[in-house]
Amino acid sequence: MAVPARRTSKTAKRMRRSHFKLSVNGVSVCSHCGAICKPHTVCKNCGYYDGKQIIKVKGSK
């Protein structure tokens, strides 16, 4: 088995792990109610998509 010749420093370890992070998926703003939602999907807050009401949601405008 291979054995490391030297201990990996904290800096080298952290620089290597700097790319292991979460990224924010694309989000858009609903043109009808202004809520944040996924692009190209019906808004869960108001039920509108592309300026038309697709589903009826309780408590929508």
pLDDT digits 0-9 by tens, 7-61: 999 999 999 998 888 887 889 999 999 999 999 999 999 999 998 999 998 875 5
- Contact, 19 vs 31, CB < 8 A? no
Residue with tokens 């808004």: 43
Residues 22-50 as b/e (b if ≥16 CB within 10 A, e otherwise) read eeeeeeeebebeeeebeeeebbebbbbbe
Its pTM stands at: 0.54
Per-residue DSSP letter, 47: -
Radius of gyration of the chain (CA): 23
Widest Cα–Cα separation across the chain:
66
**What is the structure's pLDDT at 10?**
95
